[in-house]
Structure 1
Amino acid sequence: MSQATESDAVREDGEIESVSGPVVTATDLDARMNDVVYVGEEGLMGEVIEIEGNLTTIQVYEETSNVAPGEPVENTGEPLSVDLGPGMLDSIYDGVQRPLTVLEDKMGAFLDRGVDAPGIDLEKTWEFTPEVEPGDHVEPGDILGIVPETESIDHKVMVPPGSDGGEVVNVKSGDHNVEETIVELDNGEEISMRQEWPVREARPAADKKTPRTPLVTGQRVQDGLFPLAKGGTAAIPGPFGSGKTVTQQQLAKWADADIVVYIGCGERGNEMTEVIDDFPELEDPVTGKPLMSRTCLIANTSNMPVAARESCVYTGITIAEFYRDMGYDVALMADSTSRWAEAMREISSRLEEMPGEEGYPAYLAARLSEFYERAGYFDNINDTEGSVTVVGAVSPPGGDFSEPVTQNTLRIVKTFWALDADLAERRHFPSINWNESYSLYKEQLDPWFEENVAEDWPEQRQWAVDVLDEEDELQEIVQLVGKDALPEDQQLTLEVARYIREAFLQQNALHDVDTNCPPEKSYLILGAIRTFNDEAFEALDAGVPVEEVTDIDAAPRLNRIATTPDDEADEFVADLEDDIKEQLRDLY
């Protein structure tokens, strides 16, 4: 948003009556719901959230200390919107799309109140290459031309959704800034590279389809056991220190999405600082270019104003939908939706609304649904296809998954990656609990895995799940009577499950090779473990003691497949399986 100026559609000014934290009440303000206003002498940005008679309630996106009754309130007459156009990638914004790097250049690390800057640079010129010519008829959403936004991404300049459309009468190629007219239509409409869109309103699409392609994350436990579809929704709940942020950052680095929108929503400042410092240094594994060249960061830390935290997820999802309209697959990471819900709770309590469970507003479930429902795999209005995949971290207090934010999220999302503090304490990362996690996308994604990885992918996955389930049941007996009291076949099952946990489910995010594992390699690892399982049980049936079966030299090499370079994995696994068979068959 830009500051209100003389030329803006400014309505009658009001006056502050009371101030309660981020909630300000004004009188005599001619406004509508969700209008953006500027509060006080300093012009702090806010949004109308309640109107009752002559009283207008505003949530202010900045710190309100020293704001006093009697100061003016100015209404812009427009809802909270974001600037959309080339220049959003490789940018770092706050919750209301103020570019933090631009503001830092102006005033240093500590920002003054009431400052503002456009979401995209209005002066910078971009090289526009048209894809239409005079005489062509264009409709809303149609692609007019291409701008090389970053080293990795071409920005597709589109007819705005609210346009009447018409016949192109003039096209201007070459270098232009985002406000200059690049296409003129016969009805007099002038189109530039810049669009605005209200953040609380979903951008239009022709159709929402059932997603049938996985978002390949490069993480074995997610791709292998609990896959997520492109255009799907996932939740990562976990207590403090269980690895939510690292898991999301791994997804941002390695998921096969074209664009990444990363929202740091109310997390600790030092965590967000790590993200801001690390991402510009990271190399995109696909293109070899900087990862930031296809990433947009929204940083709204826990010490920033609470109202801006409430709006940051809408800012992020609107930017994601804009790139979806160009035909890109976008992955949006929200870290964390619990902090967003806490911001809603604080504002709701200041409005003296009737609280729901644990003090959260009664509309908590509806707001979560509205957010996650904007994800999906879409036929766009310009005949392209694009997707927005939403992964939301949840931070339940004390790791209690029965609290309202986790439970309401579970009713909406179809993939659930439950992080476990006990696994994290045992240094098992990613600490996704395979007994509590699930994916409802398995069946619709299986045809893709069968065609692109292996025909028996679903069967291999189900075998691993069954072994882990059996291990979970046996662990209760082991805790009572010890492992040696079990029959030999059950002892062997525990050993096989251990290899599934250590060689397959565990993954080292800091290892050059193991940090990312393509599905083909995940399949190889599970196949090698299953070969050991089948050969070991045959040896056991032939009368070989379980201690000798599990003591063969080849078995520990199963743990080394993950760190073997991808192009050498086939040969390594083939040799290993031959050694396993030879050593076990020599025992009988």
Structure 2
Amino acid sequence: MSQGKVVKVSGPLVVAEGMQEANMFDVVRVSDEGLIGEIIEMRGDKASIQVYEETAGLGPGTKVVSTHAPLSVELGPGLIENMYDGIQRPLEKMVEVAGSNISRGINVSAIDRDKKWEFVPTVAVGDAVQTGDIIGTVQETVVVEHRIMVPVGVKGTVKEIKSGEFTVEETVCVLTLEDGSEKELTMMQKWPVRVARPYKEKLVPDMPLVTGQRVIDTMFPIAKGGVAAVPGPFGSGKTVVQHQLAKWADAEIVVYIGCGERGNEMTDVLREFPELQDPKTGESLMKRTILIANTSDMPVAAREASIYTGITIAEYFRDMGYSVALMADSTSRWAEALREMSGRLEEMPGEEGYPAYLGSRLAQFYERAGRVVSLGTEGREGALSAIGAVSPPGGDTSEPVSQATLRIVKVFWGLDSDLAYKRHFPAINWLSSYSLYVDRLNKWFDKNVNKYWSTNRADAMKLLQEEAELQEIVQLVGVDALSYSDRLKLEIARTIREDYLHQNAFHDVDTYSSLNKQFLLLRLIMLFYNRSAEAIANGADFDKLVELPVRERIGRFKYVEEKDVNEVYAAIDEEMVSCLADLTAKEVE
């Protein structure tokens, strides 16, 4: 280990000299308390270190020791259900050691070293294995089977394989490598957080991450392995959207990163997630969730690390063949940490004081998402979908973080405070949001849900856009100046907004809508529009038409339970045809 001494302290930034043997991104220990830091700049023998803990009391002459190892996370059984801080220290263990006011210099293992896990081997003596191959499994929770993989860079033949209960540090397998040497494998491995885990092949994002949220799945879908941004001002529902996605998205593992969020909001997450029932299994949602909590009052440098810690853990489960959903709330706070550290390093500022490399850092993070074929002889398919909340000041998405994010992600769910104040949730603005996956995913929806899916969606979006144009005319000259066909468009667009795009997260049935139910509801709305337009052309009375009782039945279709949707759909469709036929017949008489 190389040792230096502090010459300058500037908040979380510490400069130490005598560090010529250290390397960029080495983890260091500062002072006798062993504060954790990471080298982020080298100039001669001077190293600039971002310290992940409070630096009050440090001064010139304080010793700094380099570990000559990058910031890494521990990967193995024990990750699921855990709550970590930004540098993967388990919060519950820290409370046991230091009480509720966590002091600095605490050194606790990320994964419990004493707990024994039941290891079930999946290979036999004499089997040839390589990087990524599964040598055994551990039932980590009732929901998640933890697959123990051969570490990166290791290839050989199984000499010995054990079975039974072991800690994460005990040897469970011995390999004879190609050069004749032996390698002992445990159930735990380490991985540097700033390095993306390797894979065999990245696949085309051509299947959706089904969320059960109508405005997302139908209008602005995200692909499995895709990336999305959720920008919105204070109070517009970013966290509620991410909670809904965590609970209902078609993902087997959820990694939730609270990056620089308010303490009370993070407390709600930590309390709510264990109580939320997983709709897929009936167990607690925590049985397949990992939480990383880094509140706004924690040292700012740890925010920067928390994003990388979370995505590295997510990549590990992706490599096992799982579909993983990562929620980062919010990347704006992470960018603010970058800005603060950049300012203390006296780097040339970019737009609004953010560092010039803001865009490339965001790209490095989001590009680690994807649907991939993992390393190993089996060729497992795993997916990592990344959804990042953005908190632009005052809701202004023209600021640098939002703009840099939009250049990278392919889905933009723009939250609107006006919609939130009108109690329209999710408050995703259908005119400003978009998804660049739509064309590719429409083929999947047309094939796997219904051949009219993409037609339905296109017709509904067209109506919503025409409504916005018509509303401008209405504000100038009033609704009576419009033709009956245009007034019908306004009525149907309102139905789409209020009955389809609006979804009650707290309603037992409406909180989740299957793809089939989404299609049938929108199909009913569009059938009513097309048949009504035809009836008006045949002389039907407009006022009587919009007051037909069948409209209310269509609106309440979203509260129909999944098992009854096909039957109720057929009944409403039949009633609709009958009502419109009667109305047209009366007008003809």
TM bin (shorter chain): over 0.9
**Partner of 1:175 in structure 2?**
165
Give the counterpart of 1:52 among 18, 43, 51: 43
Question: In the alignment, what sits opposite 1:370?
Answer: 364
Letter in 2 for 1:385: E
Equivalent pair of 1:18/1:68 in contact (CA under 8 Å): yes
How is 1:290-305 mapped onto 2 (pairs within 5 angstroms)? 290-305=284-299
For 1:325-474, list aligned pairs within 5 A. 325-382=319-376, 383-474=379-470
Match of 1:62 in 2: 53
1:86-136 per-residue CA deviation (whole Å, 9 max, x = no partner) reads 110100000000000111122221111010211111111100000111100
CA contact (8 A) 1:226 1:442 kept: yes
User: 1:129-528 alignment to 2 at 5 Å?
Assistant: 129-163=120-154, 165-186=155-176, 187-382=181-376, 383-528=379-524
Can you give the 5+ residue segments of structure 2 that lack an aligned partner in the other structure?
585-589
Distance, in Å, in 1 between the alignment partners of 2:13 and 2:3 is 18
- 1:583 maps to what in 2? 579
Whole-angstrom CA distance in 2 between matches of 1:435 and 1:374: 29
Which of the residues 12, 16, 28 maps onto 1:26? Answer: 16
What SS does the aligned partner of 2:182 have? coil
The residue number in structure 1 matching 2:107 is 116
Distance 2:17 2:481 in 1: 77
Distance 2:203 2:2 in 1: 45
- For 2:433, the aligned partner's letter is S
Question: What residue identity is the alignment partner of 2:466?
Answer: E
How far did residue 573 of structure 1 move?
A: 2.2
- Between stretches 236-245 and 66-75, larger displacement belongs to 66-75
Matched to 2:94, the amino acid is L
For residues 278 and 116 of structure 1, the distance between their equivalents in structure 2, rounded to whole angstroms, comes to 28
One-letter code aligned to 1:175: E
Q: Counterpart of 1:270 in structure 2: which amino acid?
A: N
Specify the alignment match of 1:40 in structure 2.
31
Aligned residues of 1:499 and 1:558 also touching (Cα < 8 A): no
Secondary structure at 2:513's aligned position in 1?
A: coil
**Offset of residue 41 of structure 1:** 2.5
1:258 CA displacement? 0.9
Alignment partners' CA distance in 1, 2:231 and 2:458: 24
Partner of 2:382, secondary structure, is: strand
Cα distance in structure 1, aligned partners of 2:540 and 2:118: 73
> Could you give the per-residue CA deviations for residues 224-255 of structure 1, whole angstroms, max 9, x where no partner exists?
01110011110001111110010011000000
Cα offset, 1:584, TM superposition = 2.1
Q: Distance in 2 between matches of 1:215 and 1:450?
A: 15
Q: Deviations over 1:18-44 (max 9, x none)?
A: 110000011112311000001123111
3-state DSSP of counterpart to 1:87: coil
Query: Alignment partner of 1:547: what SS?
Result: helix
Secondary structure at 1:434 match in 2: coil
CA distance in 1, matches of 2:506, 2:436: 30
- The letter of the residue matching 2:567 is E
Match of 2:124, SS state, is coil
Whether contact under 8 Å (1:123, 1:177) holds in the other structure is yes
Note if contact 1:257-1:329 (Cα within 8 Å) is conserved in structure 2.
yes
- In 2, distance between residues paired with 1:262 and 1:64? 28
Aligned pair partner of 1:17 in 7, 29, 37: 7
TM-score, reference length from structure 2: 0.97
- Measured on the aligned residues, the alpha-carbon RMSD in Å equals 0.9
Q: 212-221 or 446-455, which moves further after superposition? A: 446-455
Instruction: Tell me how far apart the structure 2 counterparts of residues 58 and 226 of structure 1 sit (CA, whole Å).
Output: 42
Deviation at 1:577, TM superposition (A): 2.0
The aligned amino acid for 1:563 is: Y
Q: Structure 2: how far apart are the matches of 1:315 and 1:240?
A: 26
3-state DSSP of counterpart to 1:554: helix
Does the 8 Å contact 1:22/1:59 carry over to 2? Answer: yes
Cα distance in 2, alignment partners of residues 137 and 77 from structure 1 = 33
Name the counterpart of 2:587: none
Q: Quote the Cα distance in structure 2 between the aligned partners of 1:151 and 1:116.
A: 30
Equivalent-residue separation in structure 2 for 1:147 and 1:406 (angstroms): 41
Counterpart CA distance in 1 for 2:399 and 2:101 is: 36
**Which amino acid in structure 2 is aligned with residue 241 of structure 1?**
G
Question: Greater CA deviation, 76-85 or 181-190?
Answer: 181-190
* Aligned pairs (5 A) from 1:535-550: 535-550=531-546
Pairing partner for 1:571 from 545, 567, 572: 567
Rounded to whole Å, the distance in 1 between the matches of 2:284 and 2:447 is 32
Aligned length: 577
Report % sequence identity. Answer: 56
CA distance in 2, matches of 1:542, 1:168: 79
Q: Aligned partners of 1:450 and 1:105: how far apart in 2? A: 54
* Contact preservation (8 Å) 1:281, 1:290: yes
The residue matched to 2:559 in structure 1 has which SS?
coil
Confirm or deny: 8 A CA contact 1:125 1:177 kept in the other structure: yes
Deviation at 1:539, TM superposition (A): 1.8
Question: 1:54 deviation in Å?
Answer: 2.2
Unaligned segments of structure 1, at least 5 residues: 1-10
Aligned AA for 1:86?
A: P
- Secondary structure (helix, strand or coil) at the match of 2:198 reads coil
